[in-house]
């Protein structure tokens, strides 16, 4: 087992892209398009799970940890929904960009340059977001174990990643990187994609109960992402700490 989950090549890749996080037409354009559906999915599931009545600020008083937060594209809306947000990322450049952007928008978000296993913090979290990050880490089992240790009992962890299928190779690599030029060539490595069954086994081994899975699919005709039951390319899973 590795003693850390940081893949130096992956971090360098994102260091080089750090300045582009908040450019909706730049290299992170797919995430800008993707973000609204991720936010709705998380919000709806959290409201249901915690039986929340306050729909305007549903995350009020909830401690949220955004792992692999990048430039803060997800941390900021979580904060606007009332969450007490901590964002961590192994890229120092990402953290600097995220911190500056949050300050500019008067958002109270605690950003720390760290991986989950190295995080020095005296609290646990109600919600942990591992969104589009596990396909970039060095040791998935150790990463999930380290992330779970930061989650409160009965807390919820959302994990979004890419399935390891022929379709994901065609869409997420050939389509997104070579045909549509959505992402720089080399952003993803198909061999690091994770099958839902494998992810579920790793999570259950580390004290997480599987609560459900959905596919996140892009409809090229109306240029929109939709949630469905087909996790054959992008998917998001929900787990609860038992």
pLDDT band at 200 (very low <50, low <70, confident <90, very high): very high
pLDDT band at 13 (very low <50, low <70, confident <90, very high): confident
Residue 57 reports pLDDT greater than 90:
yes
Per CATH, the number for 8-241 is 3.40.50.150
pLDDT digits (tens, 9 = 90+) for 66-96: 999 999 999 999 999 999 999 999 999 999 9
Stretch 218-233: mean pLDDT, rounded? 88
Residue 98 reports pLDDT greater than 70:
yes
pLDDT digits (tens, 9 = 90+) for 41-55: 999 999 999 999 998
Query: Please, what is the average pLDDT of the chain?
Result: 92
User: What are the domain boundaries of the chain?
Assistant: 8-241
pTM of the model: 0.93
Residue 108 reports pLDDT greater than 90:
yes
- Contact (CB, 8 A) for 230 and 142: no
Stretch 99-114: mean pLDDT, rounded? 97
């Amino acid at each position: 087992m590795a003693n850390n989950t940081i893949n130096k090549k992956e971090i360098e890749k994102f260091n080089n892209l750090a300045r582009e996080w908040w450019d909706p037409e730049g290299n992170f354009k797919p995430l800008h398009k993707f973000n609204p559906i991720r936010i709705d999915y998380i919000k709806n599931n959290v409201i249901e799970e915690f039986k929340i009545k306050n729909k305007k600020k549903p995350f009020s008083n909830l401690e949220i940890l955004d792992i692999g937060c990048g430039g803060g594209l997800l941390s900021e809306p979580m904060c606007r929904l009332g969450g007490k947000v901590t964002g961590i990322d192994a890229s120092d450049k990402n953290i600097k960009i995220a911190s500056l952007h949050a300050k500019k928008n008067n958002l109270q978000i605690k950003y720390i340059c760290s991986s989950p296993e190295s995080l020095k913090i005296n609290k646990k979290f109600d919600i942990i977001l591992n969104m589009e990050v596990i396909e970039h880490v060095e040791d998935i089992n150790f990463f999930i174990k380290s992330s779970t240790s930061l989650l409160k009992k009965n807390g919820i962890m959302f994990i979004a990643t890419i399935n390891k299928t022929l379709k994901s190779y065609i869409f997420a690599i050939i389509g997104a990187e070579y045909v549509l030029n959505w992402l720089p060539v080399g952003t993803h490595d198909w061999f690091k994609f994770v099958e839902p069954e494998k992810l579920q086994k790793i999570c259950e081994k580390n004290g997480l109960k599987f609560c459900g899975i959905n596919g996140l699919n892009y409809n090229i005709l109306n240029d929109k992402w939709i949630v469905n039951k087909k996790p054959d390319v992008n998917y998001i899973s929900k787990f609860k700490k038992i």
